[in-house]
Amino acid sequence: MERLFDIVHVKNTSALSLKEAIVNLLSQHSLSLSYVRGQCYDGASNMQGDINGLKMLIKKESRSAYFIHCFAHQLQLTLVSVSKRCLQVGELVHLVSNIFNVLVASYKRMDDIENLKKTKNSRSF
C-alpha cells in the first residue's frame, strides 16, 4: 500500500539533491531515514541506479529500506496500453496529461521568473 506523505518542489533532480529534500522533509516531522522501510521509484537511473541512485543513497543509511518498482509507474504503463485500445480512455489520459503539463509549467515559469529577478538584482549592484 502506498501513501502520499507530501509533495515537495525541487529545482535539481540529481539523486543527491532528492535525498537531501527527503531528509529535510522527514526532519520537519521529527523522522529520519532510519525509519524508512520501503522505497519505490520509476525506472530513471537517478532514482534506482545501483551505484549513485537515490535508492542506493537511502539504502546506505537504512538497510531496511527495500526497493520496489513504483506502482504509479506500472499504472501509467497499463493506462497507455488500454488507451491505445479504447478511444475514450485515450482522450481522458490526454486531458489529464495536458492539465498536468500546465501545472508543471507554472512551477518552471515561477522558477524562471525568480532567477531573472536574482540576475537583474545582481546586475544593479
Instruction: Please check the confidence at residue 8 and state whether its pLDDT lies above 70.
Output: yes
Q: Can you give the pLDDT at residue 83? A: 77
CB 90 within 8 A of CB 83: yes
Surface-to-core class of residue 45, CB atoms within 10 Å of its CB (0-12 exposed, 13-18 middle, 19+ buried) = exposed
Kindly give the pairing relationship between strand 66-69 and strand 38-41: parallel
Share of the chain above pLDDT 70, in %: 78
Residue 2: the pLDDT is 59
> 43 vs 9, 64, 89, 112, CA distance in Å?
20, 21, 24, 28
The answer on pLDDT for 24 being more than 90 is: yes
Which grid cell is 40? Answer: 519505490
DSSP H helices in 10-125: 15-28, 45-48, 54-61, 71-85, 87-123
**82-89: average pLDDT:** 83
Q: Following CA atoms 40, 41, 45, 49 in sequence, which dihedral angle do they give, to the nearest 10 degrees?
A: -10
Average pLDDT over residues 87-107: 80
> Which residue's entry shows cell 501509467?
76
> What global pTM score does this model have?
0.52
Phi, psi angles (nearest 5°) of residue 124? -75, -10
